[in-house]
């Protein structure tokens, strides 16, 4: 019985580690696509019931709003470089909570450059063997 429990615990730990890696790879892929101004990630990586609240926004938004404003945002700026620094990933069943910090260099439509830092808490849900964003909150840290 003890050997069976230990073997099962090892399997669960391994499966959890695999899920954590899969979730982090999805986070990295989303940033890569967004930096390339490729909005296809919204259809493929975002759950239809998304609720997201960006720093500085007056209220949460949904997937349709994300799609609408992505077109505008892509025309008004360019990501020059970024780095993602994971803080934690917690997975319970089919729900993952990912927290990370980022540094980003960007250029606006006037060709003005700035470097910003920020953080996000993302919630992902696994359906049909696929992780998708269902919620997030965060964004740029306040300017000093």
Between CA 63 and CA 39 the distance in angstroms is 12
Rounded (to 5) percent helix, strand, coil in the chain: 40, 45, 15
Tens digits of pLDDT across the chain (144 residues): 444 333 334 434 566 689 999 999 999 999 999 999 999 999 999 999 999 999 999 999 999 999 999 988 888 899 999 999 999 999 999 999 999 999 999 999 999 999 999 999 999 999 999 999 999 999 999 988
pTM (predicted TM-score): 0.86
Between CA 121 and CA 113 the distance in angstroms is 26
If DSSP codes are grouped into helix, strand and coil, which group holds residue 57? coil
Whole-number pLDDT of residue 13: 54
Nearest CA to 141 out of 106, 105, 101 is that of 101
**Beta strand extents in 23-129 (DSSP E only):** 46-54, 77-92, 95-108, 113-127
So what's the architecture of 2-140 in CATH?
A: Roll (3.10)
Return the half-sphere exposure (C-beta side, CA atoms, 13 A cut-off) of residue 66: 24
Whole-number pLDDT of residue 2: 42
């Amino acid at each position: 019985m003890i050997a069976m429990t230990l073997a099962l615990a090892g399997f669960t730990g391994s499966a959890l580690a695999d899920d954590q890696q899969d979730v982090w790879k999805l986070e990295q892929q989303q940033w890569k696509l967004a930096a390339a101004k490729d909005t296809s990630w919204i259809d493929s990586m975002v759950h239809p019931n998304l609720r997201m609240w960006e720093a500085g926004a007056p209220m949460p938004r949904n997937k349709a709003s994300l799609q609408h404003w992505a077109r505008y945002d892509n025309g008004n700026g360019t990501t020059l470089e970024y780095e993602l620094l994971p803080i934690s990933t917690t997975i319970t069943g089919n729900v993952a909570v990912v927290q990370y910090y980022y540094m980003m260099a960007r250029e606006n439509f006037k060709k003005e450059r700035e470097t910003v830092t920020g953080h996000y808490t993302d919630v992902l849900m696994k359906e049909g063997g696929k992780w998708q964003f269902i919620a997030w909150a965060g964004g740029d840290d306040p300017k000093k």
